[in-house]
Amino acid sequence: MPGAGASFTAPARGAIRVDFGECEADRSDGIRAHIRGRGLDGLRFAVDSWYHHRFHPGTIVHYGDDPDQRAELRVPNDTGPFPVAVLIHGGYWRPRWEFDLMDGLAVDLTARGYVTWNVEYRRPADGRWAAMTSDVAAALQAAGSVPQADPGRVVILGHSAGGQLALRAAADAAAVADGAAVRPALAVSLAGVLNLRLADERRLGAGAVADAVGGHWADDRATYQRSSPLHRLPLGVPQLVACGEGDEPDLLEMSREYHAAAAEIPDDVTLIEGPGDHFAVIDPASEIWRRIAGAIDARVRPRTA
């Protein structure tokens, strides 16, 4: 039921509210995170969030006026400038999933020497697709001006539906005629939804694509083609595409299809596969994440003195 839940307090950083059912987001000043609509699993997500913020706190920065136009900033304990990792969470573009999903990667990448910029974005009832797209683009550009950031070494990573948002943002930045202020040095899809037409036709996520876009491929091909990474190839930015071998067959197929299509163009795309399910690619302890992180370092390696 929507009212059932719990609350955890993170000292000096606000409370974590948990509601097991769907409800409106609580953006009160005293609430640092509101985990909702995830059932009893919400308790596990809350504990993870509490742990990450208790021992590896970040700073919330707003890149727009709406409460959801925010990102969590973490900066390495060293002297910059540092490369920047922009993190875009997934969740099939649905409001119950928020940027706490990427906390683990944010902490890990900060320890590896990256400024991390973990992005939240709006998902209003009306105009959701346009709002998400513009927010991720704005957050990417804002990442270049955060403290100790090197705007020439920005990598944007997106998980699941966030992979679509990340690669679209990279493609859009690369396509700006007079040059965007921040053009990613690398775009990374982590089990990304890379073919929106296929995702719509197979009703992935119980029809999540049509629900978010506001229509099906057959009804609005122009929006799908602008938004689908596969249909945007070549992106004009180096890319890394990763997926666990135990992930949903549709998502694994999309990653392989994308890599094959890029190779024919050709476009600069590296494919990484390894053991694990849908969430292995965002688990800092997993083998596949260690390979992904190594590949990112090879492209956007932190400078050493």
DSSP string, 237-258: S-EEEEEETTS-HHHHHHHHHH
pLDDT at 3: 44
3-state SS, one letter per residue, for 21-88: CCCCCCCCCCEEEEEECCCCHHHHHHHHHHHHHHHCCCEEEECCCCCCCEEEEECCCCCCCEEEEEEE
Count the residues in the chain.
305
Mean pLDDT across 129-154: 95
Mean pLDDT across 216-243: 97
Is pLDDT above 80 for 8? no
| Tokens of residue 103, six digits | 């906390």
Phi (first) and psi of residue 302, to 5 degrees: -60, 135
pLDDT at 9: 41
Separation between Cα atoms, residue 80 and residue 146, nearest integer Å: 11
- As annotated, the residues of the chain forming the CATH 3.40.50.1820 domain(s) are 58-299
CB distance 144 to 154 below 8 Å = yes
For tokens 């299509």, the residue is 261
Cis peptide before 95 (omega within 30 of 0): no
CB distance 255 to 192 below 8 Å = yes
**Type and span of the H or E element at 210:** helix 204-213
What is the homologous superfamily of the domain 58-299 according to CATH?
Answer: Alpha/Beta hydrolase fold, catalytic domain (3.40.50.1820)
pLDDT digits (tens, 9 = 90+) for 38-87: 999 999 998 988 888 888 889 999 999 999 999 999 999 988 899 999 99
Is pLDDT above 70 for 125? yes
